Amino acid sequence: MSRKISEEEYKRQRIVRMKHWLSGEKDLYLDNMEVIPREEYKPDRKQLERYEHDLDEVMTRTYDTEHNRVYRFFQRFYKMAAVLCCTVLVLILIVEVSYLPPIGSASNPASNEVAAKYIEDGLQDTGAVNIVTGMILDYRAFDTFGESNVLFIATCTVLILLRNDKKKGKGSAEDEERRDSFYEPKKDAILQMAARILVPIIMLFGIYIILNGHLSPGGGFSGGAIIGAGLILYLNAFGFEKTERFFTEKTYKAVSFGALLFYCLAKSYSFYTGAHHLESGIPLGTPGAIISSGLILPLNICVGLVVACTMYAFFALFRKGGF
């Protein structure tokens, strides 16, 4: 049978004390540990001189190429190994190229079979009237996905190198405001009036190019470049403060990552079903209609978003060091 215990006895139990300690209600070491203030360390002058002397001697012996045999051997070995590796790589490439079919030859598959496949079966396989779009977003979809990733990685690299982190700055709020105002464009009434007229037209034209990429010349790359140019024009006319109302660093990361993720998952599913001869369930639609060509239309939109974000991000980073 259980017995009743007092409140003091209950609080003294180890499990209760541990529970209070984990929740931050009580410190178990409070009043149970003696804290001795640490004395300030004062290095001995003789020890410092000896340390500096030893360090100088080590550096001298290490980088003394005249007397250090190991260092001289490593330098010679490094040069010989670099030349040898480059020579072997060049020879391998020359041998591999020698087995390729000659350019322009009738027996070259690139001159007959590949081109004929794209032209004759492109519309039936992809549902895209534009053969080029069907090729880069269906037959070579992962190659285009790699190109989009290159744009995203390049922007991230530039962001790491050129980003002006305000948290690391030691200036006052007035200095930060003065610095931001330096990058803001001057209020040009003519430029602002032209931007009010041109930016909506540029944006609509870029969207049109993206949405009709599978029907006519255009697509995600060219349409995204047009939209990116519209964003840059708006930024030059109205400044960072107004542009950051709808496009920030978080917007760039979310849009780019979301577009690349959808692209990867969509084409992975498409290639998986195709490789196993399964029905993907994605209809190609009627050729010539805006809603057609299966996944090509949404993939065009993804590529356009990545390109537009990349163009604006590059300009903002080189202009100000941030969004």
**Residue 215 predicted with pLDDT over 60:** yes
Radius of gyration of the chain (CA): 33
Once rounded to an integer, what is the mean pLDDT over residues 94-120? 77
Which region among 86-100, 273-287, 292-306 has the lowest average model confidence (pLDDT)?
273-287
Report field, pTM of the whole predicted structure over 0.75: no
Confidence of residue 26 (pLDDT cuts 50, 70, 90): low
DSSP-based three-state secondary structure for 150: helix
Separation CA 244–CA 242 (nearest Å): 5
Tens of pLDDT, residue by residue over 72-103, are 888 889 999 999 999 999 999 999 988 887 77
As a whole number, the mean pLDDT across the chain is 82
Contact 226, 198 (CB under 8 A): no
Separation CA 60–CA 38 (nearest Å): 37
| 189-211 helix and 296-320 helix, angle to the nearest 10 degrees | 150
179 or 8, which is more confident: 8
Tens of pLDDT, residue by residue over 129-166, are 888 888 888 888 888 888 888 988 888 888 888 876 65
**What confidence score (pLDDT) does residue 303 get?**
93
**What confidence score (pLDDT) does residue 309 get?**
92
Report the greatest alpha carbon distance in the chain: 99
Closest residue by Cα to residue 227 from 142, 155, 321, 300: 300
Confidence of residue 274 (pLDDT cuts 50, 70, 90): confident
**What confidence score (pLDDT) does residue 159 get?**
83
**What confidence score (pLDDT) does residue 258 get?**
93
**What confidence score (pLDDT) does residue 68 get?**
74
